[in-house]
Amino acid sequence: MSLTANDVWNNCLLFIKDNIQAQAYKTWFEPIKPVKLQDQALSVQVPSKFFYEWLEEHYVKLLKVALTKQLGESAKLVYIIKMENTYGNKEPFTEKIPSANRAITNEPQELDVPIKSKSPELKNPFVIPGIRNIKIESQLNPNYNFENFLEGDSNRLARSAGMAVANKPGGTSFNPLLVFGGVGLGKTHLAHAIGVDIKDKYPERTVLYISAEKFTQQYIESVKKNTRNDFIHFYQLIDVLIIDDVQFLSGKSGTQDVFFHIFNHLHQNGKQVILTSDKAPVDMQDIEQRLLSRFKWGLSAELQSPDYETRVSILKNKLYKDGVEMDDQIVEYVAKHIKSNIRELEGAIISLIAQSSFNKREVTLDLAQQVVEKFVKNTKREVSIDYIQKVVSDYFEMDVSTLQSKTRKRHIVQARQLAMFFAKKFTKASLASIGSQIGKRDHATVLHACKTVDNLAETDKQFRKYIEDLSKKFS
C-alpha cells in the first residue's frame, strides 16, 4: 500500500510535536497542509512567504530529520505559498517557491527546495508584501512630552523609568515597562512622551502607539479576512510598541494569544514594549497567566494622585503655557480642593479661564469657589472606601471596627465581603489597597469576597436584597 501526502505529513507531525513546545507547534506547523507526494518530494502549502522563511530559518533541521525518517536521504520538500491576490482578481493564487533571482508572479512556478543544508540569509524575514515601502505612522501626540509631564512624588518612579527607556529603548531592564494608575493621572501622557522622545533620539526606529481596543478590533478584522499571519508580521516589524489600556484585553483569549506571540518576538529581539493599565498585573482578571508573567518581567510603575505641591506646579505650568496670569491664592485654592486627578485639575483651571474671557469676568476667589464646587459635585460619585465601610456598617447596624475585625461570624463576614465588593465596584483602588483598608486583608481575600457576593446574588434572595438596598445608597 503506497503512502499518501497526508500519511507522510501526519507521521512527520508526530515526530515534530514531540520535539518542540506545544505553542510553537500550534503556531508554525498546524497551519501547514500537505498537497501532494511525488517520488521523494512532499509538497506542502504554507500561508505566506514569511511563514516559509521562518520555517527555513528556525526549523529546517527538524523538518529534515522528520522527512528523512519517512522518505529516506533523497527526501525533498516543496513549499506552496498561498498568497493574497494584489491584481484585482477574485481568486487567490499560489506560488511554488521561485528561485532567488526570479520575481514572484501570479503564474505558479515549480522549484524543489532540497531539505539538506538549507540555511537562507534573510535580510528581513518580517517584510510583508504590500507594506514593504510604506512608512508606519507612530500615532503619537507631540503635545504629550516629558517637558509638560511635571515630576512629583506621585509619579517620580514612572517618569524616571520612562526617561531611561526613551534613552535606551530595549536596552534597559524595564522591558516591558507597565505604567498603571487611576483615571486622569497621566498614563497616556507618559506613554506618548516616551514614544515622542524615542522618535526624536532615534528617528530610524519604528514606534507605534495604539490602544488595546483598537488592537483588538484590528485582530478581529484580520481573522475575518483570513490575514491573521499578516497582522502578526506587521506588529513584529515594530521597534517600540506602546499599547494603552492593556486591561481591555481581559477575557479576549484570541487577542491575548496573538499578543503573546507578538510580545515574545519583540522581547526576544531586543525591541521595547510599553503598556499602560488602570490596575497592577496582580489585580488584572481574565488575563492569561503566561501573559501576566511577562508583564512582570520588566517594571510595573504606579502613577498615584498628585500631592498638593505637584498640583500647584501643574496648574502654574498650564497657566504659563497658555500665557495667562492668575493670583497665587486662586491657584492654591483650586489645587487644595480638587485632589482626585490631573484631568479634573486642568479642567477646572480651563473653566476659570473660559469664564473670565467669554463672560468678561475677573477671576476672583469667589468665581474659583463656584467652579470648584461644580467639579467636586460631579465627582462625588467616586465614593471613598471609608464612606463605603460606613454605609455598609450602618446598614447592618454595627460599627466599622466590627466590620474590619477578624471575627468569622456569618453576618459580619458577609458585611465585610459586601464592603469589599462595593469598594471594587465604585472606586479605582487596587484589590491590594481595598484589602489593606478593610481590615488589613490581602488582594486574594478581596477577590474571593467579590466572587462570593456574585455567587450569593444568584442563589440567595435575601442577600440579593442587601445588594439592591446598598446599591441605591451609592448611586
pLDDT of amino acid 359? 61
DSSP per-residue letters across 79-110: EEEEE---SS-SS-EEEE---TTS---SS---
Domain ranges of the chain: 5-114, 156-303, 308-378, 385-474
Q: What is the CATH number of domain 156-303?
A: 3.40.50.300
The C-alpha R_g of the chain, in whole angstroms, comes to 29
Q: Low-confidence residues of the chain, pLDDT below 50?
A: 83-134, 378-381
Tally of CA atoms within 13 A in the half-sphere of 273 that contains its CB: 27
Do 308-378 and 385-474 have matching folds? no
Distances (CA, A) of 53 to 116, 120, 351, 454: 15, 8, 58, 50
pLDDT of amino acid 375? 66
Of 389, 351, 342, the closest CA to residue 186 belongs to 342
Distances (CA, A) of 459 to 145, 454, 468: 52, 9, 14
pLDDT of amino acid 426? 84
Looking at residue 30, the DSSP 8-state letter turns out to be T
User: Tens digits of per-residue pLDDT, 207-234?
Assistant: 989 998 888 888 888 888 888 888 888 8
Across the beta sheet with 299-303, what order do the strands follow? 207-211, 240-244, 272-277, 177-181, 299-303
Distance between CA atoms of residues 414 and 47, nearest Å: 55
Topology adopted by domain 385-474: Chromosomal Replication Initiator Protein Dnaa; Chain: A; (1.10.1750)
Angle between helices 342-358 and 328-337 (to 10 degrees): 140
pLDDT of amino acid 475? 65
pLDDT of amino acid 356? 65
pTM of the full structure: 0.50
Choices 3.40.190.10, 1.10.10.10, 3.30.300.180, 3.20.20.60: CATH for 5-114: 3.30.300.180
Tally of CA atoms within 13 A in the half-sphere of 365 that contains its CB: 6
Contact predicate 283/431, CB 8 Å: yes
pLDDT of amino acid 278? 84
Q: Tell me: domain 308-378, CATH 1.10.8.60, correct?
A: yes
Q: How far is CA 418 from the centre of its chain?
A: 30
Looking at residue 96, its amino acid is: K
Distance between CA atoms of residues 471 and 475, nearest Å: 6
